[in-house]
A and B are shown apart, each in its own frame.
Chain A
């Protein structure tokens, strides 16, 4: 059986704006709105062609699903994904603190 190679979705890999659109399903306008509303940041906002860390694809896909499934407007989508990112960060921080706590997972 052929073994498929998986690609890391992390900030070390970069995606062009067009690639992020194609892979997430978002239109370029929707993606630029997410950047305007602070929900997504390109690696260098001053660059002529925007690139994004591949980990941003997770956020962009989430934005696409939320927009489609809840019929949200752009500011609503931006607000939800920003808060979801914050929750993810806090959960990661909590996990890290628990790991450092002697005596176990709690």
Chain B
């Protein structure tokens, strides 16, 4: 069994009082609780903290934990002989047992989680974030998931079992979408139901498209003359390029809607794709281009700042 230093995780002295431990826990939980924290790695830190507090807040578990002595975190150690006797025949191997699983299965002193109590316990739920691409969300995809889940042997001891499986994410997912995989969490105990696995979908940022629900937004740069004269342009969509008609006199910021070219929705229908017009200005101009712009400047009566003058005249 690998040692975990619960006092060090909480940053408290081994002699800390129960009140002190509670107060430190609350402060750290406020900082790292995944429901309220924005800290990077908060989830992992809170898991460690929760495990440490679960054992240290309970006087009996804390006493049992203190019997293990103090070791380096991660160091392999053998529990004292008294422990093995309390657990039964003494032939039992603690090698692949997780300290946290062992303590969380304990109620009212040391005993085997499975055999000791006949209370039906639902299996633990797990939450996993699945990062997928926009293309995956468009077509639907499969993600490979791996979980280390405690499973109980015939003696009621928890062993970490690595479970790998594929989950199908149907098309229609978008950023922040949640999915549930029933029964794919931890095993239930004494006939309790198996826990569930919750998937939280996060979309990778896309080079071209920005996502809002099932709608997509795309910047569409036009040359000044294209915007003035109108044209047909080829626009990328997740389903392949399409032709888009640009009407004459299209100004910057205008949104051109391509109906049904967004992400598919889970229960039918699709979002839209909006192309937001930008006027791109050429940075390198040839002599001839400069001459033509100059001619346009002289020929045009267009005043884009007319409203400034009207405002000043008031």
Taking Cβ atoms with an 8 Å cutoff, the residues of A that contact B are: 1-10, 12, 22-23, 25, 54-55, 57-58, 61-62, 65-66, 69-70, 80, 84, 92, 95-96, 98-100, 102-105
Contacts and interface: CB of A to CB of B under 8 A. Distances in A.
A86 B205 CA distance: 24
Interface in B178-194: 178-182, 184, 193
A65 B47 CA distance: 12
B267 interface: yes
Q: Which of A2, A6, A12, A66 has the most chain B CB atoms closer than 10 A to its own CB? A: A6
29 contacts: A1-B166, A3-B142, A3-B166, A3-B167, A4-B166, A4-B168, A5-B181, A7-B180, A7-B182, A8-B178, A8-B266, A9-B180, A9-B198, A10-B177, A25-B122, A61-B125, A65-B34, A65-B35, A70-B33, A84-B35, A84-B36, A95-B175, A95-B211, A96-B212, A99-B215, A100-B210, A100-B276, A102-B219, A103-B278
B110 interface: no
B253 interface: yes
A105 B199 contact: no
Contact of B253 (A2, A22, A102): A102
Interface residues of B, number: 48
A22 B194 CA distance: 11
A4 B217 contact: no
A56 B215 CA distance: 23
Given A3-B142, A23-B180, 18 more contacts: A1-B166, A3-B165, A3-B168, A4-B181, A5-B168, A5-B181, A8-B266, A10-B177, A57-B178, A57-B180, A66-B36, A69-B29, A84-B36, A95-B211, A99-B210, A99-B211, A99-B217, A100-B274
A12 B266 contact: yes
Nearest to B166: A3
Contacts of B26: 70
A3 to B, nearest CB: 5
B203 to A, nearest CB: 11
Contacts of A98: 210
A12 B267 contact: yes
B243 to A, nearest CB: 22
Contacts of B169: 6
B88 interface: no
Nearest to A93: B212
Interface of B: 26, 29-30, 33-36, 50, 122, 125, 142, 164-170, 172, 175-182, 184, 193, 196, 198-199, 205, 210-213, 215, 217, 219, 252-253, 255, 266-267, 274, 276, 278
A80 B172 CA distance: 30
Contacts of A8: 170, 172, 177-179, 266
A17 B261 CA distance: 38
A35 to B, nearest CB: 20
